[in-house]
Every structure is written in structure tokens, then in C-alpha cells.
């Protein structure tokens, strides 16, 4: 690859990285808005999340096409090839995280007119940790920082702990009053979706480690 071709390739990688970060920012915003729509019973905000999912899907397709074109046309060396492969994997996890945020927003819509059976305390905490994990994973990607990526494990354990706590509390409420079963089940879905978002953020950490070191680690054990 000539010096000019190399420079153009590096510019293309930087552009791809910028798009990936923008996609990540949209996903983080979707998670925030979805949980806020549930906590505040805001149907308009929930619908905004649902409608915005198409934008994330479109970004995923664009990043995938550009990554594949760079692989096919530039024939990158091993290190750059791992970067492009990681970008492809990260977009897949980001798209799934956006889908889960959309599922939470849809639950807000389904619960229209129903007062919450309990104040939402741990569910927003789960969402904040998940959003923080997403930001840190993308920072690790940009800075090529495998140590930061490995921190995903500790944060994921925090989400898992909160999920178990939410599960116990909601189960108790449903046992005490059968009228709580329907909404309690929906709230359990929300907690599970956030737990899955945490898993996807951990996946991002795994891909960053692979990108930098070439080593495949399973952080979710």
C-alpha cells in the first residue's frame, strides 16, 4: 500500500470510528429515554425511542457496508483487519442494545394509564450503569485500552446484583396481590432487558481486547 493509499485508508478508518461513536451515542440516549419514559409515564418520549430505532438500524447498515468495502478494496494488514472486524461486531451489539431500549419503550406504551406498583429505584440504577458501561467500552475502543475494557466485568456484576434485587421485590409484590402480576411481569422484562444490555456492553469490552491483543476472552462467565 502506497503512502497516499495508506493515508486515505487511515482517514476512512477515522471516519468509520466517528460514525460508530455517533451510533453509540444514539443507543445510550435511547436507553436513557426509554427508562425515563417508563419512570415518568411519558408516552411521547417512549414513541420517540421506538421511532428512533430505524436511525440506529440505518447506521448499522452503513457502518457494515463501509467496513466490508475497506476490507475488500484495501486488503488491510492484521492489525487494521482486527479494527474493522471489531467495528462490525460492535455495531451488531449496539443495534441489539437499541432494540432492547425500544422494547422497554414499548412496555411504557403498553402500561398506558396504569400507576406503577412501586417506585422505580433499582431499574434506573441499572440503566445508568449500563449507559456508563457503553461509554467506557467505546472509550476503550477509541483509546485502544484493554484494561478499561476489562472493567466491564465489575460493572456487569453490579447490574446482575440489581436485577436479582428487582426480581425478588417484584415477585413479592405479585405474590401479595395477584392484580400486580401483569405489570410486575412487564417490569421484570424491563429489568431483564437492562441486564441484557449490560451483557452486550461486556461483549464490546471483549471485542476491544481482541482488537488490541488478538486474544479472545469471555468476560461473561
Among candidate residues 89, 52, 115, the one with its CA nearest the CA of residue 204:
89
Residue 221 has pLDDT above 90, yes or no: no
Q: Is 1 helix (H, G, I), strand (E, B) or coil?
A: coil
Among candidate residues 50, 57, 19, the one with its CA nearest the CA of residue 33:
50
CATH, domain 3-213, list 3.30.379.10, 1.20.1260.10, 1.20.58.220, 3.30.450.40: 1.20.58.220
How many Cβ atoms sit within 10 Å of the Cβ of residue 190?
Answer: 24
Residues 80-124: pLDDT tens digits? 888 888 899 999 999 999 999 999 999 999 999 899 999 999 999
* Cβ contact 127:31 at 8 Å: yes
Residue 1 is placed in which grid cell?
500500500
Residues 1-34: pLDDT tens digits? 566 666 777 788 888 899 999 999 999 999 999 9
Rounded to whole angstroms, the Cα distance separating 71 from 146 reads: 24
Amino acid at each position: 500500500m502506497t503512502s497516499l493509499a495508506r493515508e486515505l485508508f487511515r482517514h476512512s478508518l477515522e471516519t468509520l470510528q466517528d460514525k460508530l461513536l455517533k451510533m453509540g451515542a444514539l443507543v445510550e440516549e435511547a436507553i436513557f429515554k426509554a427508562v425515563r419514559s417508563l419512570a415518568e409515564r411519558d408516552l411521547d418520549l417512549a414513541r420517540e425511542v421506538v421511532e428512533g430505532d430505524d436511525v440506529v438500524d440505518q447506521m448499522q447498515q452503513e457502518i457494515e457496508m463501509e467496513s466490508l468495502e475497506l476490507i475488500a478494496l484495501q486488503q488491510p494488514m492484521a492489525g487494521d483487519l482486527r479494527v474493522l472486524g471489531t467495528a462490525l461486531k460492535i455495531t451488531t451489539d449496539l443495534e441489539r442494545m437499541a432494540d432492547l431500549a425500544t422494547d422497554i419503550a414499548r412496555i411504557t406504551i403498553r402500561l398506558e394509564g396504569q400507576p406503577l406498583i412501586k417506585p422505580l429505584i433499582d431499574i434506573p440504577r441499572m440503566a445508568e450503569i449500563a449507559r456508563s458501561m457503553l461509554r467506557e467500552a467505546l472509550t476503550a475502543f477509541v483509546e485502544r485500552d484493554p484494561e478499561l475494557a476489562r472493567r466491564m466485568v465489575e460493572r456487569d456484576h453490579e447490574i446482575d446484583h440489581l436485577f436479582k434485587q428487582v426480581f425478588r421485590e417484584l415477585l413479592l409484590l405479585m405474590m401479595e396481590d395477584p392484580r400486580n402480576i401483569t405489570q410486575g411481569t412487564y417490569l421484570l422484562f424491563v429489568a431483564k432487558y437492562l441486564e441484557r444490555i449490560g451483557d452486550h456492553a461486556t461483549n464490546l469490552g471483549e471485542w476491544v481486547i481482541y482488537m488490541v491483543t488478538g486474544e479472545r476472552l469471555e468476560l461473561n462467565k
